[in-house]
Structure 1
Amino acid sequence: MSRPLDVVVVNGSPSEPSKTAALADLITARLGELVPITVRRVDVYRLGPGFTGGLAREDFPPDVEAAYRAVEEADVVVAATPVFRGSYSGLFKHFFDHVGQYALANKPVVLAATGGSDRHALVIEHALRPLFGFFQAAVLPVGFYVSAGAFDGTTVLDPEVYSRIEVGLDDVLPHLRNLTLDREPT
């Protein structure tokens, strides 16, 4: 029997409660229905001044370093950010500025973003894919963008969002199942 996939969500939202975190939760819930997973979340806003004041990886305190190790050692990363002025949040970018250059190479990454309107939907293609292309990550061909109108607070009301997540993850299921088969039990 294979061990569950270690899924780490990087939530780039600077606030709580967060629509972005809610979207990531929907993605990981569906993923957990498809393959065995464990989920950990790195909420960048919770990393505090030791994170925001760090200019180099060695400047970070142990708790922030642990967040980096979790992402770098994960089997799958869910990278989720709100859209600010047409791109990912500054805290999200600051986090990934300090991830090891090759730490995400060939690692499956699911892209997710939330924004005020559908005008920002291309952030997945024009900002997030290039960022993770730099890391040579195995960015999954599906990405999930949800605009504010689909939410009531942090609850997604639009059934189309649930459908897109279900169909999108079902499409990459063979790849994800191969990951679980490749894992040694611990």
Structure 2
Amino acid sequence: MPQTKILGFSGNITRPSTTRSFVDHIVAQLAIKTGASSLSFDVNDLGPSLLKARRLDDLTADARCVVDQMLEADALVVGSPTYKGSYTGLFKHYFDLLDPTSLRGKPIIIAATGGGERHSLVVEHQLRPLFGFFEALAMPTAIYATRKDFADGEVISEPIRMRVGRAVEEAARAIG
């Protein structure tokens, strides 16, 4: 039986990134819980071909490899920094390239980071509808964290750790 694969994808364009660290943290927790292999990428891993791409065939082979690994994964952890009340533009552009049926039924933990609490609904008002369009199985528990929830790139907030744990439990059951 093939090993379960968990893939993380972050919409950040800078490194190091709190969002990427957050996605990596959630991916690691889910991989531990399920005994799965794991891998994470961010928008930067797609390279400059993403900027000009109008369809998947316009991506370089390396960028296409990221897409293929996402589509082959058994579950996803997807996060974006909040920019002006929504996910980043390149994050959305990446998902615009995917076939609308490509994520159907795939378990997804959605997460976002932002500078303050006023952006906390980005997970419900932006990310959840995006993955609803793809008919993905977005976990009931979405996670939003602010700068105060991290120290040196690590999650230090107990309420955020608890939400991560709840989302991981839900995803583990969905992976079955």
TM-score of the two chains, using structure 1 as the length reference: 0.88
Aligned to 2:68: 69
Q: Residues 57-114 of structure 1: CA distance to partner in whole angstroms, max 9, x if unpaired?
A: 2211111111111111111011111000000011111110111221101111110100
Aligned to 2:50: 51
Residue range with higher mean Cα deviation, 141-150 or 154-163? 154-163
- CA RMSD in angstroms comes to 1.5
SS of the residue corresponding to residue 86 of structure 1 reads: coil
Question: What 5-or-longer segments of structure 2 have no aligned partner?
Answer: none
Q: Is the 8 A contact 1:4 1:35 kept in 2?
A: no
Does 1:32 find its partner at 2:39?
no
How many residue pairs align between the two structures?
A: 176
SS of the residue corresponding to residue 98 of structure 2 reads: coil
CA distance, structure 2, for counterparts of residue 59 and residue 175 of structure 1: 33
Q: Partner amino acid for 1:119?
A: R
4+ runs of 1 displaced by more than 4 Å? Answer: none
Larger Rg: 1
Q: Partner amino acid for 1:22?
A: S
CA distance, structure 1, for counterparts of residue 112 and residue 170 of structure 2: 19
Q: Partner amino acid for 1:85?
A: K
Question: What 5-or-longer segments of structure 1 have no aligned partner?
Answer: 179-186
Q: Partner amino acid for 1:38?
A: S
Q: Is the 8 A contact 1:3 1:36 kept in 2?
A: no
Aligned to 2:134: 135
Q: Is the 8 A contact 1:11 1:44 kept in 2?
A: yes
TM-score of the two chains, using structure 2 as the length reference: 0.93
- 1:133 Cα offset (Å): 0.7
- 1:172 Cα offset (Å): 4.5
Q: Is the 8 A contact 1:50 1:61 kept in 2?
A: yes
Q: Partner amino acid for 2:22?
A: L
CA distance, structure 1, for counterparts of residue 108 and residue 25 of structure 2: 16
In the TM superposition, 1:1-186 aligns within 5 A as 2-176=1-175, 178=176
Q: 1:135/1:171 Cα in 2 relative to 1: closer, same or farther (>3 Å)?
A: closer
